[in-house]
Structure 1
Amino acid sequence: MVHDLHPSPTTRTWTTHRVVGAVLTCVALVVAATIFGIVGSIIGIMALSVTVGAVVRTVLVLGSVILVLTTGYRWSRGGPRTLWLVAGLVAYVLLPAAWSGKALIATAFGWEGALAWAVDALVWMVVVVVVVRSLPEITDARIDTSGLR
């Protein structure tokens, strides 16, 4: 006699699908943030204003972070929130604009170097934490496996 082997609702697993999804989400975050960062900079150049460019770039980049994280999380069927926070942090570290301190809003204030990097990292991580915490936690118990029997 085989008993029902469903995991408890508190089970959080690091399945291959979730880890691959987080890695792909990390790559997508870097690509999207780079593309929208360039678009925001071009808009700033056309407006002849560094402030306009920084604000537009920030709005576009943070919008892409929200969209990519939400899509990646849902596609990967959730998983531990720590995985997604790490994916967001690694994406910021890999972002080429972050290396020069021009990823987000810090350039609008004229900040450069380590201060700009730290301020932009803080803004980036606040958005990542808010997005990840606002998404419903998906556990293995919520995944419908009835069709697999």
Structure 2
Amino acid sequence: MVGAVLTCLVLVAAATIFGVVGSIIGIMALSVPVGAVVRTVLVLGTVALVLTTGYRWSRGGPRTLWLVAGLVAYVLLPAAWSGKALIATAFGWEGTLAWVVDALVWMVVVVVTVRSRPAIADERIDTSGLR
């Protein structure tokens, strides 16, 4: 559980940093769509990398816990509050529609990443209280 919480916090920090980097690249290219695409690629790559690393570091655990950690990270992401976290701004979408589209893209990456991890069984981890 501690690994999932730490992974969630690192995920928020890393996605924020790489989101800013992608936005700066878009500003330098003088193009909102270019910035949105670069930001999306950087952030989603970061999501996959951080989730994979956190999952390995904490030796697995229930996959539901990792899916929830990914969802909570999106909700805590400051860029998500304004609907500017991922690709929706490239299409000119704003508000709730942008938030929902970005959340769906984010969750697809989280689900694919978590489901692609092999189940790691460690008898020292007591998951009986999480069921």
**The TM-score by the shorter chain falls in which range?**
over 0.9
2:78 corresponds in structure 1 to 96
Quote how far apart the aligned CAs of 1:114 are: 0.2
Q: 1:54-65 alignment to 2 at 5 Å?
A: 54-65=36-47
Q: Secondary structure at the match of 2:61?
A: coil
1:116 corresponds in structure 2 to 98
What is the percentage of aligned positions where both structures have the same residue? 88
Paired residue for 1:83, among 65, 72, 88? 65
More helix per residue:
2
Q: Once superposed, which parts of structure 1, at least 4 consecutive aligned residues long, lie more than 2 Å away?
A: none
Between the aligned partners of 2:11 and 2:62, the Cα distance in structure 1 is 19
Quote how far apart the aligned CAs of 1:65 are: 0.3
Paired residue for 1:129, among 95, 108, 111? 111
Between the aligned partners of 1:53 and 1:140, the Cα distance in structure 2 is 42
Quote how far apart the aligned CAs of 1:140 are: 2.2
Is 1:30 paired with 2:12? yes
Gaps of 5+ in 2: 126-131
Aligned length: 125
Between the aligned partners of 1:137 and 1:103, the Cα distance in structure 2 is 30
Normalising by structure 1, what TM-score? 0.82
CA deviation vs aligned residue, 1:17-46 (integer Å, no higher than 9, x gap): xx1100000000000000000000000000
* Equivalent AA in structure 2 for residue 52 of structure 1: V
Normalising by structure 2, what TM-score? 0.93
Rg (Cα) greater in structure = 1
1:42 corresponds in structure 2 to 24
* Equivalent AA in structure 2 for residue 106 of structure 1: A
Between the aligned partners of 1:82 and 1:92, the Cα distance in structure 2 is 16
Between the aligned partners of 1:139 and 1:131, the Cα distance in structure 2 is 18
Gaps of 5+ in 1: 1-18, 144-149
